[in-house]
Amino acid sequence: MKTASLHNLGCKVNAYEMDVMEQILRSKGYEIVPFGERADVCIINTCTVTNIADRKSRQMLHKARSENPGAVIVAVGCYVQTGLEEALKDEGIDLCIGNNNKSRIAEILEKYLNEREAGKADKMPGGDTVSDMKDCPYEEMHLKELRSRTRAYIKIQDGCNQFCSYCIIPFARGRVRCREIEDIKNEVEGLAAAGISEFVLTGINVSAFGGLELVKLIKELNAIGEVKRIRMSSLEPRLFTEEFVRELKSIDKLCPHFHLSLQSGSDSVLKRMNRHYGTEEYAGKAELLRQYFRDPAITTDIISGFPGETEEEFEETYAFARRIGFYEMHVFKYSRREGTVAAKLPGQLTDRQKAARSEKLIALGHKMSEEYVLRHLGEEREVLFEELRQINGKDYVCGHTPEYLHVAAEAGEELCGKICRVKLSEVLGEEHILGVLI
């Protein structure tokens, strides 16, 4: 029996696709071993969103080679898709597989192994392992099993048409393609029957699925008895019309946790980023959510130190984030990505400038998270318990509320995978809240 190890880099879509690839390899008789152990095949699902992501992908590929010199090293995904020429020259990589061929991983791998045994393998057997993403169809994948028994990422869409000035992803993932609702429903039904409780709808640009279609999909999933929770990943502000929000409020299993992509709180920076909204429009969407949902968890992403960002523009972003009052902010220092419009913009900031602004935003994010948590102490919530963890030297079972508040309870492994009602009692270390079982 051949052995394979897999390692994932990047986004939730990559995580879903890695789960499917592992499932495919198992079905073909591969034994999956932990990454870092001796294996016949080492597969890295790569990321290319920034130059740093490219570097991390290369480092992980070379790490796999150095730790497992006899293995076949396979580079899969976005780094290969946008940097094939470089990847083919890399002696640490044996096989390259692009983004729209992940479902064929076993077939491509077997062909490569057979050709290598015959002494005629190259890095592109058949010449079709990295295809043009421009007009490619949606790649059908279907997840039937999952090692986790609590939460599953469900890919509903691929590609992006927005071309934000800092982003390479439309070139790595191609144009927007959406999955059929019936196929998504069938996948969720199977996983729910196998014990998965929560489903996170994800994609490269989930908003491209369309507001009414997304509502239709969520209502279909809401009707599946075994499904306990539905959560959405990052969405564009413009999707949130009053009709859309009103429909969402009527879906009882939908979690009141909304990740609205922001990137900057300065209108002039948003324009340079080629984002298609302004701060007042964004603020209106946040307010709309708060009209229909009681104190929903609103989270976001912010890029600090975008090219040309002045001190005044940064302060606008800081003040705007404070005004919205996010539950969580994911702050990223701008990382120059060759091949994007932003890489050529004047006014590239120094690492020191970007780091200072990032640290200030991160500190604000921590303060707003603390404020959100404190508002909810004393309330009762349903918690999906997921894992055992030590906090302050003591064992707890940990999970999340629908708002994605991190909760720890003094109980054992028997609660993992179950939803229990707790009273949110006090703040523990590591950003957890103590939940007292009711």
What does 39-100 look like in DSSP terms, one character per residue?
A: -SEEEEEE--SSHHHHHHHHHHHHHHHHH-TTSEEEEEEHHHHH-HHHHHH-TT-SEEE-GG
- Considering the entire predicted model, what is its pTM? 0.91
Q: Are residues 414 and 351 in the same domain?
A: no
DSSP, collapsed to helix, strand or coil, labels residue 142 as coil
Q: Are residues 233 and 356 in the same domain?
A: yes
Domain count, the chain: 3
Other CB atoms within 10 Å distance of the CB of residue 414: 9
DSSP, collapsed to helix, strand or coil, labels residue 383 as strand
Q: Are residues 363 and 340 in the same domain?
A: yes
Please report the pLDDT score of residue 388 as a whole number. 92
Tens-digit pLDDT profile for residues 60-79? 999 999 999 989 999 999 99
Which residues face 232 on adjacent strands?
201
- Answer yes or no: is 121 within a domain: yes
- Answer yes or no: is 138 within a domain: no
From the list 229, 171, 236, the residue with the least C-alpha distance to 203 is 236
Tens-digit pLDDT profile for residues 272-282? 999 999 999 99
Q: Are residues 279 and 250 in the same domain?
A: yes
DSSP state of 329: E
Please report the pLDDT score of residue 129 as a whole number. 66
Please report the pLDDT score of residue 128 as a whole number. 54
Which residues face 328 on adjacent strands?
299
CATH code for position 250 = 3.80.30.20
DSSP, collapsed to helix, strand or coil, labels residue 118 as coil
- Only one residue has tokens 């044996």, namely 94
Cα–Cα distance, 155 to 243 (Å, whole number): 24
CATH code for position 109 = 3.40.50.12160
Cα–Cα distance, 408 to 280 (Å, whole number): 37
> Would you tell me the crossing angle of helices 242-249 and 279-292 to the nearest 10 degrees?
30
CATH code for position 431 = 2.40.50
Q: Are residues 261 and 233 in the same domain?
A: yes
Q: Are residues 318 and 231 in the same domain?
A: yes
Q: Are residues 390 and 363 in the same domain?
A: no
DSSP state of 235: B
Q: Are residues 188 and 115 in the same domain?
A: no
Q: Are residues 225 and 241 in the same domain?
A: yes
* Percent of the chain residues past pLDDT 70, beyond the cut: 96
Alpha-helix residue ranges (DSSP H) falling in 257-350 = 267-273, 279-292, 311-324
- Answer yes or no: is 369 within a domain: yes
Q: What are the 10-residue block averages of pLDDT along the chain, 438 residues in total?
A: 92 94 95 92 94 92 92 94 89 91 92 81 56 75 85 95 94 92 97 95 95 96 97 95 97 98 97 97 98 98 97 98 98 92 96 97 97 96 94 92 96 90 91 92
DSSP, collapsed to helix, strand or coil, labels residue 113 as helix
Q: Are residues 166 and 273 in the same domain?
A: yes
Which residues constitute the domain of residue 323?
151-375
Q: Are residues 359 and 411 in the same domain?
A: no
Q: Are residues 245 and 301 in the same domain?
A: yes
- Only one residue has tokens 């318990």, namely 385
- Answer yes or no: is 266 within a domain: yes
Please report the pLDDT score of residue 330 as a whole number. 96
